[in-house]
Amino acid sequence: MSKNNIDNKKTEEYDAQPEEQGQKENKGEAKDEEIPLNSTEKEQASTTEPIKSPTSELLESLNEEDIQKLLSAKQEYEEKDQIIEEKNELLLEYEDLLKRRQAEFENYTKRVKRDFDESKKYATAELLLDILNGIDNFERAIDSAKSSKDFDALLEGIIITETQLKSVLEKKYGVTVIDDVGKDFNPNIHDAVMMEESDDFAEDTVIENLQKGYRMYDRIIRHAKVKVAKAMSSPDEQEEREGNGPESSPKGV
């Protein structure tokens, strides 16, 4: 083969390479092209609707009136939520106020109890002061009698002191003596210590005060110990009573 023939053959091979490369590129491009649809597939594609969210469907189903109702409901909810928040704040204020009032009441209770204990402790101070004044008068009367050896002066001083003490007890403290001689026996006032036959008094009558009783305003603070009269008995009854034992108590004792 001549040199010219060899060169021509190489030239033809070189020219053929771009054509083969172009055919390969065309084949690759054909792979990327969409697959054509038939008429049925095209019809189905055209009738398929896009997927919608539930919220979008709900909004599309509402009319203007429904939207206004929803807006009104939202506003009402917000107003009620605001009211609840205000009520909660008010509740916290009342709770704090209650705690403070409770603490104040506890302090008040403690203070009242303390004052009551103090009053109870020193309630008799004024009475004792009046009694001490009476004791002073007794001491002066005794000292006077010792120096003068005068019994009548001592007696007079004692009587004056007794009168003063009784006057103070009655005027300042409402304390009066129970002196019921000649009155009917009353178990609410009297303690019958003994009984005695008497021609001068009726049966169950107080004939003597053995120990005076005292009343403070309308309350008995000490019962009077008394002797009570009983009816006179015949000699036979007296003998029978002496044989049977002690005398009977008055009615109501």
- Residue 32 has a pLDDT of 46
- Residue 41 has a pLDDT of 56
Which amino acid is it at 174?
A: G
| Mean residue pLDDT across the chain | 78
Q: Which domains does the chain have, with CATH numbers?
A: 176-253 (2.30.22.10)
Residues 161, 138: contact at Cβ < 8 Å? Answer: yes
Which amino acid is it at 165?
A: L
Q: Please give the residue that has the higher pLDDT: either 59 or 79.
A: 79
Residues 211, 189: contact at Cβ < 8 Å? Answer: no
- Residue 51 has a pLDDT of 62
| Range from 29-33, 70-74, 198-202, 222-226 carrying the lowest mean pLDDT | 29-33
pLDDT digits (tens, 9 = 90+) for 101-159: 999 999 999 999 999 998 888 888 888 898 898 889 888 888 888 888 888 888 888 89
pLDDT digits (tens, 9 = 90+) for 46-71: 555 556 566 666 666 777 787 788 88
> How distant is the alpha carbon of residue 135 from its chain centre?
49
- Residue 157 has a pLDDT of 85
Distance CA 47, CA 228 (A): 130
pLDDT at 3 over 50: no
Residues 149, 151, 154, 155: what is their CA dihedral angle, to the nearest 10 degrees? 180
Residues 6 or more apart whose CB falls under 8 angstroms from that of 183 comprise: 205, 206
| Secondary structure string (H, E, C) spanning 19-87 | HHHHHHHHHHHHHHCCCCCCHHHHHHHHHCCCCCCHHHHHHHHCCHHHHHHHHHHHHHHHHHHHHHHHH
pLDDT digits (tens, 9 = 90+) for 208-229: 999 999 999 999 999 999 999 9
pLDDT digits (tens, 9 = 90+) for 166-194: 999 999 999 999 988 989 999 999 999 99
224-230 and 190-197 strand pairing: parallel
